[in-house]
Amino acid sequence: MSRNEVLLIFLRLPEPGRVKTRLIPAVGAERAASIYRELVERVAATVAAVRRPGLSTWAMVEPGTRLDEAAGWLGEGLRYVAQARGDLGDRLESAFRRAFDEGAPRVVAIGTDCVELTPDLLAEAFERLNESDAVLGPARDGGYYLIGLSRPVADLFAGIPWSTAETAAVTRARLAAASARTHELPMLRDVDTPDDLHAAGIDDRAP
């Protein structure tokens, strides 16, 4: 049983029409999928640059029946795990529970939408969990790009209004209700809209 810190990266395979759907009206399904592929690869490179001995990185893959395909895309150094069924809250809860059940003292989850995330910020998230119960990285759109825990928090992910301007606020309230000592990281931008693409320096035109 591993007792390493765990970093969870939630990702999908870059299939046209199934990823970055909010970009499709502006750039088309094929370009949206290629943009998503680029975002995942950028985040994977950021994670690979984290110098934290013993850190175990899990790629939480959807669809979970295609782990070999994800491994062929992103390569060695990651543990490939199928995402649970259900909404994002169900999938987060399952992943955190599994990591804690395997003995992880600190668990951090990220998505693949935030190219402003740095290795130093990821390392800081784990360091803050040495003295905090939770760490939250809020996004400019009202969601969050990172959440970490040093202990399970009951019902933290249940009934959250996902992908809304209230996601982070409701999560903060849940943490407060659980008396969880929470540290917040700097607010960063997720890449979800054409304006976000331009801010991140990503070309919205097909290569």
Determine the residue type at 177. Answer: A
Which residues have a Cβ under 8 Å from the Cβ of 163 and sit 6 or more positions away?
Answer: 143
- pTM recorded for the entire structure: 0.95
Determine the residue type at 57. Answer: T
Confidence (pLDDT) at 195: 84
Nearest Cα to Cα of residue 40 among 108, 92, 113: 113
Nearest Cα to Cα of residue 16 among 5, 27, 6: 27
Confidence (pLDDT) at 194: 84
Mean pLDDT by runs of 10 across the 207 residues of the chain is 85 96 92 95 96 95 97 96 97 98 97 95 97 97 97 96 96 97 97 83 69
- What angle do helix axes 29-48 and 67-74 make, rounded to 10 degrees? 70
CB neighbours (10 Å) of residue 90? 14
Confidence (pLDDT) at 193: 85
Which residues have a Cβ under 8 Å from the Cβ of 120 and sit 6 or more positions away?
Answer: none
Phi-psi domain of 79 (left: phi exceeds 0; alpha: psi -120 through 50; beta: other): beta
Confidence (pLDDT) at 81: 98
**Which sequence spans correspond to the domains of the chain?**
6-199
What architecture is the 6-199 domain classified under in CATH? Alpha-Beta Complex (3.90)
Tokens of 84: 């649970």
Q: What is the arrangement of strands in the sheet containing 56-62, beginning at the earlier edge strand?
A: 79-82, 56-62, 6-12, 107-110, 144-149, 134-138, 182-184
In angstroms, the CA 4 to CA 23 distance is: 37
Confidence (pLDDT) at 201: 78
Confidence (pLDDT) at 1: 43
Confidence (pLDDT) at 2: 52
Phi-psi domain of 5 (left: phi exceeds 0; alpha: psi -120 through 50; beta: other): beta
Confidence (pLDDT) at 207: 56
Q: With helix as H, strand as E and coil as C, how does 117-144 read?
A: CCHHHHHHHHHHCCCCCEEEEEECCCCE
